[in-house]
Amino acid sequence: MTITVTNQLPAVLDPVHTLACGGAYDPLPALRTMLVDPLLRPLPGAAAVTVTDGGGHDLTADLPDLILRCLGDRVDVAAEATVKSVLGQTLVHFDPQAALPVGEVFAVQAGQQHKWPAPSARVLYSAQHDVIPAAKGLLAGSADPSELFAALAYTYHPHTLGFWFPTSAAFDDFRAWLAQQVGTLSSLPAMPPDTVRLMADFGKLTLTGLTESLVLRRDDADGNHPFSFARLLVNLLMTYVRQQQTNAGTVPGNTAGAVPGSAAAPQAGVLPFTLGELLCPRTLVLVNVEAHARATPARVTHEWDLIRRCLAGQVTVVSHTHLSKLTSLARAAVRAQVLGRQQQPGQPGSRSAQVKFRKAPPSRLDLYGDLVRVLRRMHTVNRSQHVFRSTKMTFLKANRRDPADFNKPGRSTAVRYLPDLHIYIDTSGSISEVNYQEAVLMLIGIAQKLNINLYFNSFSHVLSQETLLKVANRSRGRIWQEFRRVPKVTGGTDFKQVWDHINAAPVRRRRLSLMITDFVWAPPPTREEHPATLFYAPCSAMDWGAMVSAAETFTKAMKHIDPSIRQKLLGMVV
């Protein structure tokens, strides 16, 4: 369709708008002021602007509706073509052939201003060649702010509203100005207390990193009441940017320009990535230009990819009492993954979802192998009952039989102390005497193989007194007599008291703790501190199918406390 525009003065769009904070929220006046009015501004001394199609129909009055049709959830091909044709004839900088939608009109305008082709499969933009050089140029005063905006928009296409500040100090200046404005507005009767509280929280933010991002709205209908946090914050940001433009003489249409690199250069600006977010932003991204200029390309790319992933995901529900950060959940997940990859002492990795249970009960050798594997991952300690001696031949020490012969090596013995072994045996009502005896005999065999003394507790809904059992260099019968002299408690089952017992003392946290149980216990729904060095083993002489079923239930219920709990089941998983 052929579109003809007559008597129009070519325009440069300005994204700064100051919608009122009070009354009903209506972004249409801002749309008309930013976009429609500049397109319908006539030449000096000319008649009114007219927009007609190929059939001679006047589309001037339909222009706002056509633009709104381009901002819906679905692409309106006809409206897109018509509005792009109008923009191509009315704007100083615009390419109607650009593949970007009308909603990114400000990005296309900024790109055309610097003679940049629109991004496509054959035209790619990057942090190394575009974003970082634009940030350095803006700081040096040799580049226009629109160049940085075009670089960010063409490289990442974030569906959000952004504001840039040259340095963290410039953002601090804005926060000081913001505090004054909020202090004045807080006395208004219409000012909600939640808005005052959220503005105070916003005043505590710092912009020392690359970006800071916030969630303002759940959807377009949220946060639109008078003097809401979303409306007030955007209004004050826009007001501050307009003041900066006026002081620097960089308001579009003003012929007086600021001197590059001078103190009058704007200290803030708008990044209108999409028209819909500019009118009713759901999220807000604050950009530190200096941090971008000093960062590596990989770090800049990672930051904006994280923002894009968060924008593409489900937006979290906005709290009316606390600031909702856009990327906080994603950053926390990344930190958790990094910690999960770092093998903590005695702590398994993050493959619990791949772990499967054994189809048959473990042998004593299986459990011994799992214990040794865990011990090897734990650091040595200064002193313990678990002494490990290693001997090697060395010429640094004289030979005992012939100390005068330097050609004969001597024997050197190194002593290390591995973590103590602490056993907690479940003696609740579901554990029979036969089960208890089989578990003790299994432990005796493992302790003899390791040749170490071990600490012991029995537990039910109460915990017995801690006992050090002398196992090293003793016979099986004598060790069994030692076990029989230890008091055995009975009753219900409570794992949490064992957790608290371990966490209460640093010396117990350094031990390798092993709980022998039938897993018949339900953990609390609250977040609890699970000991990092506590592992679990199944009771002997019990039905294996019922044991696996109880362990499955236990591990599923423990996901909120310890997601890697399956890898702490020794002798049960493969």
Cα gap 215→317, rounded to integer Å:
8
User: Smallest Cα–Cα separation from 111: which of 162, 152, 156, 150?
Assistant: 150
| Residues 14 and 110: beta-carbon distance below 8 Å | no
Task: Please list, in sequence order, all residues whose beta carbon lies within 8 angstroms of the beta carbon of residue 289, skipping any fewer than 6 positions away.
Answer: 135, 138, 139, 148, 164, 165, 166, 167
Where are the chain's structural domains?
101-335, 352-379+419-568
Overall average pLDDT of the 290-313 stretch: 92
**With 90 as the cut, is the pLDDT of residue 451 above it?**
no
**With 50 as the cut, is the pLDDT of residue 485 above it?**
yes
| Residue 530 CA: distances (Å) to CA of 256, 459, 504, 563 | 66, 17, 12, 11
Burial 182-196 (b: 16+ CB within 10 A, else e): beebeeeeebeeebb
In the structure encoding, which two tokens stand for residue 205, read together? 């933010």
| Residue 560 CA: distances (Å) to CA of 50, 236, 442, 557, 563 | 64, 41, 32, 7, 6
- At 483 the pLDDT is 79
Cα gap 317→296, rounded to integer Å:
33
How many Cβ atoms from other residues are within 10 Å of residue 549's Cβ?
13
| Residues 230 and 281: beta-carbon distance below 8 Å | yes
Cα gap 428→370, rounded to integer Å:
25
| Residues 503 and 509: beta-carbon distance below 8 Å | yes
- pLDDT tens across 389-406, in order? 678 888 888 888 888 888
Give the CATH class of 352-379+419-568. Answer: alpha beta
- Say which residue, 327 or 363, is predicted with more confidence: 363
DSSP 157-220: --SSEEEEESSHHHHHHHHHHHHHHHHHHTTSTT--HHHHHHHHHHTT----SSEEEEE--SST
- Please give the angle made by the CA atoms of 206, 17 and 233, to the nearest 5 degrees: 35
| Residues 417 and 386: beta-carbon distance below 8 Å | yes
**With 50 as the cut, is the pLDDT of residue 139 above it?**
yes
DSSP 446-460: HHHHHT--EEEEEES
- pLDDT tens across 511-540, in order? 889 999 999 998 887 668 899 999 999 988
Task: Out of 138-152, 304-318, 446-460, pick the least confident.
Answer: 304-318
How far does CA 195 lie from the centroid of its chain? 26
| Residues 312 and 330: beta-carbon distance below 8 Å | no
- pLDDT tens across 49-108, in order? 999 998 889 999 999 999 999 888 777 888 999 999 999 999 999 999 888 889 999 999
- pLDDT tens across 338-386, in order? 555 554 444 444 444 456 888 888 888 888 888 888 887 877 766 666 6
Cα gap 355→324, rounded to integer Å:
36
- Please give the angle made by the CA atoms of 327, 316 and 561, to the nearest 5 degrees: 80
In the structure encoding, which two tokens stand for residue 165, read together? 């500040």
| Residues 65 and 83: beta-carbon distance below 8 Å | no
With H, G, I as helix, E, B as strand and everything else as coil, classify residue 317: coil
The region, left, alpha or beta by phi > 0 then psi within -120 to 50, assigned to residue 197 is alpha
Cα gap 439→225, rounded to integer Å:
66
Task: Please list, in sequence order, all residues whose beta carbon lies within 8 angstroms of the beta carbon of residue 329, skipping any fewer than 6 positions away.
Answer: 310, 316
Q: What is the dihedral of CA 550, 552, 557, 558, to 10 degrees?
A: 110
Task: Write down the mean pLDDT value for the chain.
Answer: 85
Strands 283-288 and 161-165: parallel
In the structure encoding, which two tokens stand for residue 468, read together? 């050090």
Helices and strands, number each (H, E), in the chain: 20, 14
Confidence of residue 320 (pLDDT cuts 50, 70, 90): low
Cα gap 555→569, rounded to integer Å:
9
